[in-house]
Amino acid sequence: MLVIADETEKVLEELELTQKQFWNVARETGNFLNMLVKMNNVQNALEIGTSNGYSGIWLGLGLKQTGGRLTTIEFYEKRQTIALENFKRCKVDDIITSKIGDAGTILEYLKDDDKFDFVFIDASKPQYLDYFKLVKPHLVKGGIICADNVTSHAEKVKPFLDAVFADNDFQSEILPLPAGLSVSYKLV
């Protein structure tokens, strides 16, 4: 069983009380993302959709063990401020870079040599396909793209799912976690 420090557990449980209000992933999904980061020894992770930092904490805890870093994007300043406070309380703030702004625009302006080995998509559902297209050139071989809400918001994310499942550069599956999580592995 994963042992979580008391103060961090307190923050996670506190955030779970407002899970719906802040659109956070389920605890099971957070735990799985944390495992995936460790199983793949992720070094450079990107999260699209920070909210109050709940999933970022799970990712950050995994990255603390791998020695990796997380960049996370949010366009509401109020949520970013809360997330930064939560990252600090869970002592993952030193490995997290928080970017404020529209994810599509931020991704568009990534440098050619900005590379990620893990991407978690959890922002605007109709824009999942755009995020995928923009992030694909920055994902290394063996990298992973996860996307939440692929069953809870199936219609809205269909263009993304269709594209990633049809893409020969990826091997993909949908996991039956609470909102449905797609996991795509970059083969080339």
Ligand X SMILES: C[S@@+](CC[C@H](N)C(=O)[O-])C[C@H]1O[C@@H](n2cnc3c(N)ncnc32)[C@H](O)[C@@H]1O
From the list 32, 40, 42, 54, which residue makes contact with ligand X (rule: CB under 6 A)? 54
Assess 124 for contact with ligand X (CB under 6 A). Answer: yes
Helix axes 77-89, 54-66, angle to 10 degrees: 40
Q: Which of 78, 85, 20, 17 is nearest to 56 (CA)?
A: 85
- Per-residue b/e over 110-138, b at no fewer than 16 CB within 10 Å? beeeeebbbbbbbbbbebbbbbbebbbeb
State the binding string over 63-102 for ligand X (x if CB under 6 A, else -): ----------xxxx--x----------------------x
Assess 49 for contact with ligand X (CB under 6 A). Answer: yes
From the list 90, 123, 134, 150, which residue makes contact with ligand X (rule: CB under 6 A)? 123
Q: Which stretch binds ligand X (CB under 6 A): 4-12, 34-42, 47-55, 169-177?
A: 47-55
Sign for the CA dihedral angle at 157, 159, 165, 169 comes to negative
From the list 8, 55, 71, 86, which residue makes contact with ligand X (rule: CB under 6 A)? 55
CA angle 156, 131, 39 (to 5 degrees): 100
Closest distance of CB 177 from ligand X, Å: 12
Assess 103 for contact with ligand X (CB under 6 A). Answer: yes
Closest distance of CB 74 from ligand X, Å: 5
Neighbours of 92 (CB within 10 A): 22
**Roughly how many angstroms between the first and final C-alpha of the chain, as a whole number?**
34
Assess 51 for contact with ligand X (CB under 6 A). Answer: yes
Closest distance of CB 173 from ligand X, Å: 20
Neighbours of 38 (CB within 10 A): 17
Assess 132 for contact with ligand X (CB under 6 A). Answer: no
Catalog residues that contact ligand X under the rule CB under 6 A: 23-25, 49, 51, 54-55, 73-76, 79, 102-104, 122-124, 127
